[in-house]
Amino acid sequence: MPIYEYECRVCGTRFERQQHFDDPPVAVCPEGHEDVRRVFFPAGIVFKGSGWYITDSRNSNNKGKREAKGASSDSEKSTDG
């Protein structure tokens, strides 16, 4: 079950509740006030490494193009000589 954090808009008290996904949101804070809202946080994603997929893909594609160009120029040199 996920843990949700709530904040009372009247007194500013922050509290957590462990709830099922289909449970209704909490309506009353521990102090008894009825103006409560759920606090949302950004996702905790950490990207590690040399780069994103697009960056890695571009590097490998450029490397492949360079090798292909080099191979064609080498074959031209061998036929001329």
Domain-wise residue ranges, the chain: 3-39
- pTM of the shown model: 0.51
Six token digits for residue 35: 């103006």
Least-confidence region, from 20-24, 54-58, 74-78: 74-78
Give the confidence band of 67 by pLDDT, cuts at 50, 70, 90. Answer: low
Q: Where are the beta strands (DSSP E) in 1-81?
A: 3-8, 14-18, 36-39
Average pLDDT over every residue of 64-81: 53
The C-alpha atoms of residue 1 and residue 33 are separated, in whole angstroms, by 25
